[in-house]
Amino acid sequence: MLSLADSIVQKIDALGVSSNFLAKLFGCSNGQMAQLLNGSKVLSNDEGLRILDLVRKLEHLSELARPLPLAFRDEVVIRSLLTNLDDANLTIRVEEHSGGEINTPAPSPDDLVRSQVILAALKIMEETGESIEE
């Protein structure tokens, strides 16, 4: 059975999240996070559960954005997305259209946030040279 730290490391690796980025979001130094995740410092149950909760939120955010890849590099953008997700002010909808006319419903209050997410994802993709894989 994996330790809590090993489970967290496995999850952030799958997401492409660096321990440095996780430390910034969590509010500790990179050195402290590295010590917690590599086992050189004992991970308290409270710390472990708080970090795991953060990682689960990142996983949820990634799932919501699929098939668009999220690059977890811009702390301000990701923190804003997480805050809006926590406040239930964030809805991400990715639809596939096969052509023809698209009937769009009237804009909802979530449209501004949704647009910010898409623009942030596109900005990150542009900066990193990533593209949407089919």
Q: Give the pLDDT score at 41.
A: 85
Tell me which residue has tokens 């006319």.
Answer: 101
For 10-14, 56-60, 72-76, 110-114, which range has the lowest pLDDT when averaged over its residues? Answer: 110-114
Calculate what percentage of the chain has a pLDDT beyond 70. 73
User: Rounded CA gap, 19 and 130, in Å?
Assistant: 21
User: Rounded CA gap, 28 and 19, in Å?
Assistant: 11
Q: What pLDDT digit, counting tens, does each position of 64-99 carry?
A: 887 778 888 889 989 988 888 777 766 666 666 565
For 1-5, 6-10, 53-57, which range has the lowest pLDDT when averaged over its residues? Answer: 1-5
Residue-range domain boundaries for the chain: 4-128
Higher pLDDT, 122 or 81: 81
Q: What pLDDT digit, counting tens, does each position of 7-33 carry?
A: 899 999 999 999 999 999 999 999 999
Bond preceding residue 67 cis, omega within 30 of 0: yes
Helix, strand, or coil here: 71? coil
Residues 84, 90: contact at Cβ < 8 Å?
A: yes
CB-facing half-sphere around the CA of 92: CA atoms within 13 A: 21
Residues 110, 90: contact at Cβ < 8 Å?
A: yes
Q: Give the pLDDT score at 115.
A: 65
